[in-house]
Structure 1
Amino acid sequence: MVEAILFASPDPVPLAELERRLPPGSDARAAVDRLRRHYEGRGVVLRQVGGGWAFRTAPDLAHLLSREAVETRRLSRAAIETLAIVAYHGPVTRTEIEEIRGVSVSRGTLDHLMEIGWIRLGRRRQTPGRPVTYVTTEAFLDHFGLASPADLPNLAELRAAGFLSGQGTPELPLKPPGSEG
């Protein structure tokens, strides 16, 4: 039953949802563990993505399914910077994004990131004005193959990959993913 639910779902399915859909007394966690072991070394694997479970193409076979496509829309530098700030500092307010970037954030940038489903509105801060916060989504985690925000690369890993070379980045305000801001 768990296998059928996961195969039929277009999105990762949280364990709580599997528990809800199984007959009383069923152990969804054990079923997921059995399935994960059963699919190891096969063409598809069962992976935890964000807060749920989903079947994905095995990494060693992904090249067989890739195809060249023209990318129709790239993210602007402002959108990339904003997304990175939300990913590393979320939940974060618009004012905090602007403080970190050093420039104002256009409404279109946040709207575009919400439109593609990578950020969403979070809880309002319990501070004067009750500003809304922004957080990354499960779609963001799924797109980048992350189980949780804690899997984001740290500053040393970004430097080692060449993303921060020559940019004078020692003072970048990156906090550990998953910590509150």
Structure 2
Amino acid sequence: MAPKTAEPLDTELADLPWGLRWREWMARVEAVLFAASEPVGREVLARVVGKDCALDLLIEDISAELTGRPYEIARVAGGWQFRTRPHHAVAIRVARGEDDAVREFTQNEALVLTIIAYMQPVTRGAISRLTGREISRDLIARLHRQDLIARGPRSPEPGAPYTYVTTPGFLVQFGMVTLRDLPDLEALEDAGLLKPAADIALDLPISGEVE
């Protein structure tokens, strides 16, 4: 006996009144987001709703219904994701038996992560020249273990060292949708957080949407 083939999903729901159709689309999108462990992109959500569905408005309606709940829909890393609201973080850590202290980045870690975010792909040597200090392999490894950075292509400079780039985990960690959400680089230089160097071009690839 041949296995029963599942019927294709009716995305248009043309037989339903518009109000019921919208509610069903809301339920489907909420179910997909609830089941996902990573941010879900627009192209994925579009598979479960009709062609005339305005996803942004749909998600706004779902978010409105979540008002007062301990979780929300966040726009991160080019998609949407369910996450608990920040003020419940302490309760969650206590329930898990985790240390209540939130890990903070050291000054060097924050500086290196900032440079990689703006200058990627960038080598460890270039980061050292830009900051005016030696950047250790251990520091790079710590950021890599936290899934904040990853190896990029090898540099064409002598020795062909690896470059480093940010990851989707970086966007999630800092609540960004894309790298376009980074603050203005000149403001960081004016604040003295970055040391401009003549031998390093500050030609950022942000406009090219480095994901």
CA distance in 2, matches of 1:157, 1:102: 19
Q: Which fold has the larger relative contact order, with Cα–Cα distance below 8 Å and residues 6 or more apart in sequence? A: 1
Deviation, 1:57, is 5.0
SS in structure 2 at match of 1:70: coil
SS in structure 2 at match of 1:150: helix
Q: For the structure 1 residues 122 and 144, does the alpha-carbon distance in structure 2 shift closer, same or farther, using more than 3 Å as the test?
A: same
SS in structure 1 at match of 2:164: strand
TM-score normalised by length of structure 2: 0.62
> Superposed, which structure 2 residues align to 1:11-160 within 5 Å?
11-18=38-45, 22=47, 27=51, 30=53, 32-41=55-64, 42-43=66-67, 44-57=71-84, 62-63=86-87, 65-67=88-90, 69-71=100-102, 73-155=103-185
Could you tell me whether the CA contact under 8 Å between 1:117 and 1:137 is conserved in 2? yes
Q: Percent identity?
A: 35
Q: For the structure 1 residues 170 and 67, does the alpha-carbon distance in structure 2 shift closer, same or farther, using more than 3 Å as the test?
A: closer
Q: Residue 73 of structure 2 aligns to which amino acid in structure 1? A: L
Could you tell me whether the CA contact under 8 Å between 2:30 and 2:62 is conserved in 1? no
Could you tell me whether the CA contact under 8 Å between 1:47 and 1:55 is conserved in 2? yes
Structure 1 alignment gaps of length 5 or more: none
Deviation, 1:137, is 1.3
Q: For the structure 1 residues 153 and 147, does the alpha-carbon distance in structure 2 shift closer, same or farther, using more than 3 Å as the test?
A: same
Deviation, 1:38, is 1.3
SS in structure 2 at match of 1:146: coil
Structure 2 alignment gaps of length 5 or more: 1-27, 92-99
Q: For the structure 1 residues 46 and 109, does the alpha-carbon distance in structure 2 shift closer, same or farther, using more than 3 Å as the test?
A: same
CA distance in 1, matches of 2:195, 2:76: 31
SS in structure 1 at match of 2:206: coil
Of residues 134-143 and 73-82 in structure 1, the stretch that sits farther from structure 2 once superposed is 73-82
Deviation, 1:104, is 2.1
Higher Rg: 2
CA distance in 1, matches of 2:204, 2:174: 18
Q: For the structure 1 residues 156 and 100, does the alpha-carbon distance in structure 2 shift closer, same or farther, using more than 3 Å as the test?
A: closer
CA distance in 2, matches of 1:132, 1:159: 26
Could you tell me whether the CA contact under 8 Å between 1:2 and 1:31 is conserved in 2? no
Number of residue pairs aligned between Structure 1 and Structure 2: 165
SS in structure 1 at match of 2:90: coil
Q: For the structure 1 residues 113 and 106, does the alpha-carbon distance in structure 2 shift closer, same or farther, using more than 3 Å as the test?
A: same
CA distance in 2, matches of 1:13, 1:117: 18
CA distance in 2, matches of 1:110, 1:26: 45
Q: Residue 80 of structure 2 aligns to which amino acid in structure 1? A: W
